[in-house]
Amino acid sequence: MTRRLFVHVGPPKTGTTAIQSLFRDLGDPRLAYPTAGQWPDGAHNLLTFALRGETSWGAIVIPPVAELMPQVSAELDAAPADALISSEGLANVASYRQLLDALGPTVARFDAVIPILTLRHPLERAASDYNQRVKDAQHGERALPDDDLARRIDALRITPMIEAWRRVSPETRLLSYHPAESLLARFCALVGRPDLTPPETPWRNRSLGGVGLALLLLGNRLLPDPAARHRFLAEDLKDQHGLRLWRGASFPYSDAAVDRAMATTVTPDLEAARDRHGVDLTAWTRPPRATLSEADRAQIRQVAEAFLPASDRRAAEIEAVMAAFPAA
């Protein structure tokens, strides 16, 4: 029997959590998904953090590579057929190679090692990634939306990504994130197991709306460390009834910033991906933008003044952050 090792390399914000939580919970005997190295959401992020030499991420302790790899190898060796590893941390080609080297002879026992790369429209991925970095207390993103887009959009181009992975492995399989509603079905088909498709695709990672983005940005810009930022979200904001943190549109970028990114980076990239690699993500509808009503702005000021430390900067930061979001 042919045994294949599929390595889902992400990248982040391409539906990875939905895929990982599905296989975490399946326990299918014909497609091994190692329990060792799993993050709580099912991603094998403990492996990638350990390979980077990290010892902790927030409150999560990262076991050393010397402890994790024998456990993962044992599960893969015991797999009667195919196996799957999935982590956004493998989106870096060097990390992927490092993982295969660390697994050593275990990899050689498979007939094929097949990376799976998921591709999402760069502006959608930029927006989702920005939202994640703002709400992640450990990361604590401080940049305003348009500044962040200008700084990061070049790194989100899909053509260089495809070509880098095809150089690493001609076996690389490409999976479009779009349409998201059928992502799990198409992923299961790609690993040869369409029978594992769930009846619906649950989305596990909620996005902040305009109020949530504004308040968490303020916390990131004014609070000194991850622990304080975590308390702000998990305790202070949680207790504020009527706060619409998770409601409303989440796309944070202005039309002018989107137009610049499309003209200089995104359109040429997507046309190259279509023409060179047959991946067509050029059809895209601009999502509605995150906004703030006057009532939202009053509530943000009230909460920020109640829970964020008083300083000469606080009033200016409140105004600067709210100015990044248009009126509802």
- In tens, the pLDDT along 132-166 reads 999 999 999 999 999 999 999 999 999 999 999 99
Task: Name 251's bridge partners.
Answer: 289
204 against 269, higher pLDDT: 269
Geometric angle at alpha carbon 232, from 231 and 237, rounded to 5° = 120
Q: Which domain holds residue 222?
A: 210-249+291-322
Strands 173-176, 112-119: pairing is parallel
Q: How far apart (Å, rounded) are the C-alpha atoms in residues 33 and 25? A: 10
Q: What is the phi/psi pair of residue 310, to 5°?
A: -65, 135
118 and 228 co-located in one domain = no
116 and 216 co-located in one domain = no
Please tell me the predicted confidence (pLDDT) of residue 204: 67
User: By percentage, how much of the chain surpasses pLDDT 90?
Assistant: 92
In a domain, 316, yes or no: yes
39 and 172 co-located in one domain = yes
Please tell me the predicted confidence (pLDDT) of residue 58: 80
Total of domains in the chain: 2
Q: How many helices (H) and strands (E) does the chain have?
A: 15, 7
In this prediction, residues 270-285 reach a mean pLDDT of 97
190 and 229 co-located in one domain = no
Q: How confident is the model at residue 107 (pLDDT cuts 50, 70, 90)?
A: very high
pLDDT single digits (tens) 20-44: 999 999 989 899 999 999 999 999 9
pLDDT single digits (tens) 47-96: 999 999 999 988 889 999 999 999 999 999 999 999 999 999 999 999 99
